[in-house]
Each structure stands twice: as structure tokens, then as C-alpha cells.
Chains A and B, each alone.
Chain A
């Protein structure tokens, strides 16, 4: 039981990463590799700030700002520097590794004996693992509400239009470069927050904790889509969180089969690959009838 609660808690925390990537991957239609650098950056900044005596909340906000700064760099390389987005992301991700080492001064920093968001009074009173679940739900709720509001504003609609049809967006006077930079900043800011929270939950920050994050983020998005079918935009945001939780449950189940934690990245990729291929096999295997009763398949 505690394993399931723990998986749900992790799923909720990591869902912030999925939501962040959703903005760029699904709305702007670009694959932003920067997240592999901004996730550990958020962790490095938050842990270093906490160790230096800042409150966990302030430290988390610093992590968000650091992520946004990295997103800004990627955005400028992509829009003004005309560098392909995949390459721009890889450049910033690689550079971030050195920056993260500079921030921490070493490759691993522990939070042992320091305060974290999870040690806040109302969370500390909760039974084991439920603190993470509660914190995750709180943050996800705040972020989802802000995103839902944002996407329904004039600015948000211009943002969506940029990813949907850039040429049209331009012909309507939307500054598409600014929209892309904004999207990359907000997205990576969220990833920074996620890194900050995960490091506080784990109790340490590690320079290599970013490896595989993009796969985890994609898994949340795609599992959500495969599991829930055609949805409205607001529902799709919720589906990402659900996808993230399902992904953690799948991983937990696989680990129970006897795989070790060292196999995690292999398993992550495997789970994602299977989910991405699922739509192709759906028809042949009649999975539609099994999985999505009553939900129309995308044509």
C-alpha cells in the first residue's frame, strides 16, 4: 500500500515536468531538450540556496527563475540565432551541466539536517508518503489553474496559434518569436520547480539527476493521451498528471518483478516506446474495444 502511495506522490511531483514539456512539445510543436539541463539546475539551485540558509519556498522560486533563464537562452538561440530547436536545446543542456557544477561546487549535495518544503508543519504531521502526495497535489492544482486561465487569455490563444500555424499567426500580427521564447521560459521555469521539489523530496541534488528526464516527461504526456483518447485542451492538462501517475505505477510494478533501480532508464524508454507505438497496433489488436470503451479513436 505504501508503495502505491509513494508512486502516486512521485507521479504528482514529476507531473510538473510533464506539464512543462506539454507547453513546448504539444502546444508549440517543438522538442525541447533543455529540460535535461534545467531539471538538475532547479535541483542544484534549490539545494544550494537551502544549504545557504534560504527558506525552501524562496529556494524553489530561485529554481524556477534559473529554469526560465535557461529557457530564455534556448529561445534566443532558436528564434534570433536561427539554430534548430533540437540543437539549441542540446547546446543549453550541455552548457547547463557545467553551470550546475558551478552552482553546487561539487557533484552531489545533501539536504541532511536542512529544512525542506516537505518539512513544513502541516506536511510533517502527515503519515509517511502522504506528505509528497499532498504537496504534489497542491502544486499541480496551482499550476493547472494558472495554465487553464493563461490559455484562455488573448495572449494564451496567440501562443496556441503560434504552435498550430505559425504562418497564419504571423499574418495576424502575432509576434511568433516572442511566443516561442515565452513558451520555452515558462516551460523550463516549471521544470526548474519540478527539479527543486524532487530534490527536496529525495533529500539531495545530484549532477546526473537530469539524465532521462525528457523521456519521463514524454511518457507522462503520451500515456495520458493513449489512456484517455480525444480530450479538450483543459482535460489534456489533467491527462498529463494522470499519465505521470500511471507511469510511476507501471515502473513500480516492473520493479516489483525484480528489476533493479539501475534498470530504470532502460525501462522508462521501453515503456515510452511501447506507448508511442500503441496507436499503430490498436486497430490490429482491437485494443480500442478493450481500453477506450465509448471514446472515439482519433482519425
Chain B
């Protein structure tokens, strides 16, 4: 159960490299993510939460340190290569789906995440029943809009679709970057519940950034507080269950 999937070792990232404004964002950050972990991540603005995700996702090169996947060094793998094991859901509903393509077409794209695309017919019709059934999981009417361009969906439906797309082909790790933050409270809650259901039932390994301390406490088996480019606290299992919002809040005052 506690087999490490991804290990970050002494990760350093810099901005404004080579200028007088050079600043360290991540400062020798160490983190080991185990199989089946559902980690919620909190931290004040500028703590390095998004940078951490970009480092794991490969769209930000590290300036020092190593990233290991199942023990293999992937520090220099490109963003595209990492999509073979990794999927992401962004905060902005516009970023997760192709607006002029239909719901079904988007799902088809996601189903081949990380694979080479060949000059062969896409075979969408044969998968329609499957896709419609999967879309039904989200309970928000997505299954009735399979042939609608995603640009015409509501923000909630788009985010639900983004999440489905991220899990359609089972990822080793899924990164959720405040994926419900742009939604109204009710829609946000529904998507969080659906997210939790899918992750725990399928035993996915997930990292979720959130600004809601309550959500960070409710969901997941592990909670990380990021601050000043390092991990300030790492609560697991029992320890996390006993954690309260008041206690967690103290980390933000310093």
C-alpha cells in the first residue's frame, strides 16, 4: 500500500534567473507520494502550490533536484511525455476542454491521453454508448449533451467533463488545481463529492490544491501545508482526522 509512486528530491525552482531579481520559489522541497494517496494541499498565495504542480506536470523545468517515478528518474521528461502517467484538471473551465469540439469528441481525445495519434479513423460512434454511460456518473445532465460543443456547456458541466477526461484513461497520478474554485457553491460541492467518490472507489492517487480548509480536512487521507517553497506540515491518516480548521489556520498566520 505504501509503495512510493512519485518522489520529489530537493527540488529547487528559480524565477528571473540570472538577474538581480532572482528568487527561489521551491526551496529544496522533498515529497514522497505513495500509491493510493489522496493528498489535499493548502497554503497561502505564493507558497508554491501551482509551481509544485507545474514541476510535477513537466511544464516548468526544475533548476535543481530530481523527480522519480516508480524509482526512475523523469526529471527531464517533457510535459507531453509525462501525460502517459499523469492527468490534470485546471481551475479555469476554459482550459480543460476544446470549446468547438463536442463532449464526445473531447472524451475521445482524452481516452488516448499520452498515446501517439495515428492516421486511422477515430471510431467515435462505436464508443458513444460507453461515453454516454460514463458521462452519466456526474449526475449533471452531461449525458444528454454528448453532441454539444463544450463551449456551449455551463462552467460546472465543463469542469465535470474535464475531471471525467482526466480519469477516462486511468492515470498513475491526477493533479487537481483548485478545480472547483470557479464554480458556484452548490455546483462546486457536487463536483467535489463526485471527485471524491471516483478517486476513493477507483483507488486513484491524487493531489488536490484547495483554498477551503474545510474541504482539505474532509477529503483525502493526507494533508500538506505548503509555505515559503517548502512543506511546512504533512498530516497522514489518524493525525489528519484529528486535525481541526483552527489548528490548520495557525500555519497561515506565521
Chain A, range 147-164, C-beta contacts under 8 Å to B: 149-150, 152-158, 160-161, 164
Q: Which residues of A contact B97 (CB under 8 A)?
A: 165, 168
A171 touches B99 (CB 8 A): no
Tell yes or no: B119 within 8 A of A by CB.
yes
Tell yes or no: B83 within 8 A of A by CB.
yes
Tell yes or no: B134 within 8 A of A by CB.
no
Q: Which residues of A contact B95 (CB under 8 A)?
A: 165, 167-168
- Which of A157, A172, A174 makes the CB contact (< 8 A) with B122? A157
- Which of A158, A165, A173 makes the CB contact (< 8 A) with B99? A165
Tell yes or no: A282 within 8 A of B by CB.
no
Residue of B nearest to A150 (CB): B119
Tell yes or no: A175 within 8 A of B by CB.
yes
Task: Tell me the bound Cα distance from A186 to B97 in angstroms.
Answer: 26
A-B interface contact total, Cβ < 8 Å: 83
B92 to A: closest C-beta gap in Å: 9
Task: Tell me the bound Cα distance from A164 to B109 in angstroms.
Answer: 12
B99 touches A164 (CB 8 A): yes
Task: Tell me the bound Cα distance from A161 to B98 in angstroms.
Answer: 6
A158 touches B117 (CB 8 A): yes
A172 touches B99 (CB 8 A): no
A8 to B: closest C-beta gap in Å: 31
Task: Tell me the bound Cα distance from A174 to B83 in angstroms.
Answer: 9
If A153-B121, A153-B122, A155-B118 touch, does A173 touch B101 (CB 8 Å cutoff)?
no
Interface of chain B, main secondary structure: loop
- Which of B80, B81, B87, B108 makes the CB contact (< 8 A) with A157? B108
Tell yes or no: A169 within 8 A of B by CB.
yes
Task: Tell me the bound Cα distance from A257 to B88 in angstroms.
Answer: 60
B63 to A: closest C-beta gap in Å: 21
- Which of B88, B117, B119, B122 makes the CB contact (< 8 A) with A171? B88
A158 to B: closest C-beta gap in Å: 4
A170 touches B79 (CB 8 A): yes
Tell yes or no: B120 within 8 A of A by CB.
yes
Residue of B nearest to A149 (CB): B121
Q: Which residues of A contact B88 (CB under 8 A)?
A: 171
Q: Which residues of B contact A154 (CB under 8 A)?
A: 112, 117-122
Task: Tell me the bound Cα distance from A208 to B123 in angstroms.
Answer: 46
If A150-B119, A154-B120, A173-B114 touch, does A160 touch B80 (CB 8 Å cutoff)?
no
Residue of B nearest to A172 (CB): B113
Chain B positions 58 through 93: 1 when the CB is less than 8 Å from some CB of chain A, otherwise 0: 010000000000000000000111011001101000
13 contacts between A and B (CB under 8 A): A152-B121, A153-B120, A153-B122, A154-B119, A156-B122, A157-B109, A157-B117, A158-B117, A164-B101, A170-B80, A172-B114, A173-B81, A173-B113
Interface residues of chain B, those whose CB is within 8 Å of chain A, are 57, 59, 79-81, 83-84, 87-88, 90, 94-101, 105, 108-110, 112-115, 117-122, 165
> 9 tightest A-B contacts by CB?
A173-B83, A164-B98, A173-B114, A158-B117, A154-B117, A165-B98, A155-B117, A172-B113, A161-B98
